[in-house]
Amino acid sequence: MKNKIIKIIKWYLMIHMAISSLLLVDYALFVKESTKITWKGRGYPVTKMILLGPLNILYSK
């Protein structure tokens, strides 16, 4: 059971980091702000966007 939970968490983090890096690349190319990269125009810093990506997706709908 413990190994299953660890596997789920590991896969979640891998998928989440892949999605976050894609979002980061998209906004680095299209937004082009010098101080910080915003996500959905709400002014989140890059680290918050990467760490809280799934929560931001849930709250934006």
What radius of gyration, in Å, describes the C-alpha atoms of the chain?
14
Give yes or no for residue 53 having a pLDDT over 80.
no
Q: What is the reported pLDDT for 34? A: 45
pLDDT, mean of residues 37-53: 56
Tell me: the pLDDT tens digits for 16-42?
777 777 666 666 555 555 445 555 555
Percent of the chain with pLDDT over 90: 0
Give yes or no for residue 2 having a pLDDT over 70.
yes
Please report, as a single letter, which amino acid is at residue 17: M
Positive or negative torsion for Cα 49, 19, 17, 28: negative
Q: Which two tokens stand for residue 2?
A: 């413990």
**Residues 40 and 60: beta-carbon distance below 8 Å:** yes
Give yes or no for residue 5 having a pLDDT over 60.
yes
